[in-house]
Amino acid sequence: MTDPESPEPAQEAGSADAVNLFSGEFARCPQPVYRDLVSRCPVAHSVLGDGKVISRYEDVIWALRNPQIFSSEMELQLALGTERPMIPQQVDPPAQTRYRKVLDPRFSKKRMREIEPDIRRHANALIDAFADTGQCDFARDFAVPLPCTAFLSLMGLPHEELPRFLRMKDGIIRPQELVEEEVPDFAAMQALRVQTGKDIYAYFRDVIEDRRRAPGDDMISYLLETEVDGARLTDEDILDVSFLLILAGLDTVTATLECNIAYLAGHPAQRERLVADPALIPSAVEELMRWETPVTAVPRLVKEKVTLHGVDIEAGEMVSLLIGAANLDDEEFGNADAVEFDRARNRHLAFGGGAHRCLGSHLARLELQVAMEVWHERVPSYAIAPGAVPVFSPGIREIRSLPLVWANA
């Protein structure tokens, strides 16, 4: 691969036939691995033994559109501290369709526009805190808190809850960082997860009680009141939705903001184009979603035997649909290995597709567009601090610390 966009292949990620989607090196620079898988090995094995890895666009979109074969009903919940399947992500149609009927109107683009001024104000306020110092940790100071404030606006919860929310999501997603031991202690981590899960349920149980007594026009009141096919959501349903929203709605946007800014810091000419022509931001956000694909893969449980490119996948096997690889498939995207902010045809799958298309995609797009706009107005020129090496986490490609520096005007 000679394209300047693709640095040297990630060694640690393994050969195409057995790929390690959880290595740090793959998380840092997955594109060469994706390109290799798509061209050479469209159905690979995971070295961790957690099933086959499907990479080509055509195959991934087919699987996403056929939930009767590629099911989302898996036994993942214990590992994540939930007590029941998360709604709607771990439920298949037709039940999932009924939940989406309730949820979709509340997450539509029109609705999201109502919280745009909030998001803009919060983005500016975060930048106010460090703009004059010429430096920040983009992760800690911007990319982590911004989606949390947007989430609190979306849910109609008080903004003083921010620290509590950050802690609840980290207790589930990265308990290793909250357990204060030098060596990761798995039992302690899992215990923290389970405890945090209980805290989340308890927190939202209180909110539900509260809104039942005094309904408002917030999300939880809406979920309590809305009927689909003559039935209402139970309290448990509402808890299971809320749990998922915390897991799906915070780190994903954080990771995307971090991937975007790390890319632009490393590609000054592309950054200058955006600064000179902010009208490019919406399509640049789409193109960076495609190129970076911050949520790298989605899992499915195979319900009936399928044969793909000569490889048998048996009923009962797990597969990873590698949406990051699908997004770099030349068959779908001409010149997929180049980052083109004005790409005319971009059916990327960074928000998934089919029935489980990201419920929060309209909110996420709004947050990303507003953040990129405000950031580049306020801090048009920036670089990664000398000596800092961004470390990407696997699965969802977050960068836990992203020190930036800039010269003040």
**Which residues bind to ligand HEM, rule: CB under 6 A?**
72, 88-89, 96, 100, 244-245, 248-249, 252-253, 256, 294-295, 298, 350-352, 356, 358-360, 363-364
Nearer to ligand HEM, 39 or 346 (CB): 346
Nearer to ligand HEM, 100 or 211 (CB): 100
278 near other proteins, rule: CB under 8 A: no
Least Å from the CB of residue 209 to ligand HEM: 23
| Part of the chain binding other proteins (CB under 8 A), chosen from 158-166, 194-202, 237-245, 342-350 | 342-350
CA pair distance 367, 123, nearest whole angstrom: 9
345 near other proteins, rule: CB under 8 A: yes
Judged by beta carbon distances under 5 to 8 A according to partner kind, the member of other proteins, ligand HEM, none in contact with residue 41 is none
Tokens of 71: 């099911």
Nearer to ligand HEM, 102 or 189 (CB): 102
Nearer to other proteins, 27 or 363 (CB): 363
User: 56 Cβ partners below 8 Å, 6+ apart?
Assistant: 38, 42, 325, 326, 329, 331
Q: Can you say whether the dihedral through the CA atoms of 8, 12, 15, 20 is positive or negative?
A: negative
CA pair distance 327, 324, nearest whole angstrom: 5
CA nearest to 131, candidates 120, 146, 142, 139: 142
List binders of other proteins among 190-219 (CB under 8 A): none
- Amino acid making up residue 156: G
Judged by beta carbon distances under 5 to 8 A according to partner kind, the member of ligand HEM, other proteins, none in contact with residue 81 is none
Strands (E), 119-177: 135-137
Residue 381 near residue 406, CB atoms below 8 Å: yes
Least Å from the CB of residue 2 to ligand HEM: 29
397 near other proteins, rule: CB under 8 A: no
351 near other proteins, rule: CB under 8 A: yes
Least Å from the CB of residue 188 to other proteins: 41
List binders of other proteins among 220-239 (CB under 8 A): none
CA pair distance 150, 124, nearest whole angstrom: 13
CA nearest to 172, candidates 189, 152, 159: 189
Residue 36 near residue 303, CB atoms below 8 Å: no
Least Å from the CB of residue 75 to ligand HEM: 15
| Part of the chain binding other proteins (CB under 8 A), chosen from 86-94, 101-109, 132-140, 259-267 | 101-109
81 near other proteins, rule: CB under 8 A: no
**Judged by CB under 8 A, which of 24, 51, 354, 380 binds other proteins?**
354
Nearer to other proteins, 50 or 104 (CB): 104
Nearer to other proteins, 239 or 359 (CB): 359
Nearer to ligand HEM, 41 or 155 (CB): 155
Type and span of the H or E element at 43:
strand 43-46
CA pair distance 153, 147, nearest whole angstrom: 10
Least Å from the CB of residue 188 to ligand HEM: 29
The rounded radius of gyration (Å) of the Cα atoms in the chain is 21
User: 300 Cβ partners below 8 Å, 6+ apart?
Assistant: 63, 70, 71, 72, 74, 318, 319, 321
**Judged by CB under 8 A, which of 278, 282, 394, 395 binds other proteins?**
282
End-to-end CA distance of the chain: 40
Tokens of 248: 């799906």
| Part of the chain binding other proteins (CB under 8 A), chosen from 122-130, 135-143, 209-217, 346-354 | 346-354
- The region, left, alpha or beta by phi > 0 then psi within -120 to 50, assigned to residue 14 is left
- DSSP-assigned states of every residue in 298-349: EEEEE-S-EEETTEEE-TT-EEEE-HHHHTT-TTTSTTTTS--TT-S-----
| Part of the chain binding other proteins (CB under 8 A), chosen from 98-106, 116-124, 131-139, 302-310 | 98-106
Least Å from the CB of residue 349 to ligand HEM: 7
Least Å from the CB of residue 101 to other proteins: 7
Residues within the interface to other proteins (CB under 8 A): 61, 65, 100-101, 104-105, 107-110, 282, 344-349, 351, 353-355, 357, 361-362
